[in-house]
Amino acid sequence: MIYQENQIRQFQTVFGYNLLSEIEFFVAEPFLLVTMEDLWQKYESKFNINSEYLYFVNSLEIKDLDEDAKKFENIKSIIGFGGGQAMDVAKFLNWKTNSKLYQFPSSLSVDAVFGHRAGVREDSNVKYLGWAVPEAIYIDFDILKSCPKHLNTGGLGDVLCFYTGIFDWEYAHRIGKCEEKWAYNQSLADISKSKADNVVNNIDDVCELTDNGIQFLVDALKWGGASFHGAGWNPRHIEGVEHFFFYALESYTKKKFLHGQAVCLGVVIGCMMHQKKEDELLGIIHQAGIDIRPEAMGIEWEDVEKTLYSLKNYVIENKFHYGIANDFEVTKEFFQSVKNKVESKFNK
């Protein structure tokens, strides 16, 4: 089968300035605004909204969200405004109510807004479920540029993972361990690679958050979000060992991370396991100001080391797709080489 990008439907994105002020002219009332409390304080003056329908995200637990959804059965529209969590909760509530969804991401830190399922929690374990297709996603240059830069460049984690995802897929294919339902597909891998290449080749614009840089980043994130579904719920061409490392790190440390930071550390580690592209991508991550040293994430190198030793079992236990983590023997020397490489880049 040959996949073509235009056959995989992605969500409509609209780029522009001062987009919040248009809401009153096209969003059917009553509408629910799903956002974060700290963000609301900054943007309150932009909205003309009855506080009865203002919803601050404070839980991602399914049982809490189910309860909340019952209170909003009469709403006609939902507006999501914020980072990944606000986008996910807006998606979930949209799924549970008969409403139209309009999304306004305040940063490009993850690809959550561009995918169908909502990343929520069941007893603290992440679960991706639901179905939400927004009427449109509004990419407001003013809003994105006013948020801390490293939050937007953090979105690189959900783009650079295309490389390590494909390395894992090629690897599994080469040794005959690909899942039957997800046989290696060159056309799918090629589209992912070209999207990531576009971002890497325009990294100066992405780091400066120029209008063009934002468009390149959004274009890649859109692909990552929509093509999971578009390829038949196949994640092979968009993620692999780097996300597994991130999940394992979260599980081991019981801490929450900025998605891009932990995933980008996983990208470098995954590249080193595959012995491909590690210096190039480390350079990109460094240039983008994504500090992947453990101390920048509130953990120690020892946490990274322990996570690496347990990665193989973690991947097997969770039945993640087959890749380098299943076979790679993590040694003391390997861990030391990861540490040296990251420190020599960031400690200059």
Stretch that binds Zn ion, among 20-28, 55-63, 72-80, 156-164 (CB under 5 A): 156-164
Stretch that binds Zn ion, among 15-23, 145-153, 155-163, 199-207 (CB under 5 A): 155-163
Residue closer to Zn ion, measured from CB, 88 or 278: 88
Give the CB-nearest residue to Zn ion: 158
In the bound complex, what is the minimum distance in angstroms from residue 11's beta carbon to Zn ion? 17
In the bound complex, what is the minimum distance in angstroms from residue 158's beta carbon to Zn ion? 4
CA distance linking residue 242 with residue 332, whole number of Å? 19
In the bound complex, what is the minimum distance in angstroms from residue 270's beta carbon to Zn ion? 13
Stretch that binds Zn ion, among 38-46, 70-78, 119-127, 151-159 (CB under 5 A): 151-159
CA distance linking residue 209 with residue 199, whole number of Å? 12
Phi, psi of 23 (to 5 degrees): -50, -45
Residue closer to Zn ion, measured from CB, 72 or 115: 115
3 state SS of 334: helix
Contacts of 188 (CB under 8 A, 6+ apart): 3, 227, 231, 234, 236, 237
In the bound complex, what is the minimum distance in angstroms from residue 265's beta carbon to Zn ion? 13
Q: Does 88 bind Zn ion (CB under 5 A)?
A: no
Residue closer to Zn ion, measured from CB, 158 or 278: 158
Residue closer to Zn ion, measured from CB, 88 or 158: 158
8 Å CB contact between 267 and 285: yes
Side-chain-facing half-sphere of 156: CA atoms under 13 Å: 38
Residue closer to Zn ion, measured from CB, 75 or 132: 132
In the bound complex, what is the minimum distance in angstroms from residue 112's beta carbon to Zn ion? 8
In the bound complex, what is the minimum distance in angstroms from residue 82's beta carbon to Zn ion? 17
Stretch that binds Zn ion, among 56-64, 157-165, 180-188, 192-200 (CB under 5 A): 157-165
Q: How many residues bind Zn ion (CB under 5 A)?
A: 1
Q: Is 67 left (phi over 0), alpha (psi -120 to 50) or beta?
A: alpha
Sign of CA dihedral 234, 238, 242, 246: negative
Amino acid at 327: D
Q: Does 158 bind Zn ion (CB under 5 A)?
A: yes
CA distance linking residue 259 with residue 264, whole number of Å? 8
Residue closer to Zn ion, measured from CB, 68 or 242: 242
Contacts of 227 (CB under 8 A, 6+ apart): 8, 10, 188, 191, 192, 237, 238
Residues forming contacts to Zn ion in the complex (CB under 5 A) are 158
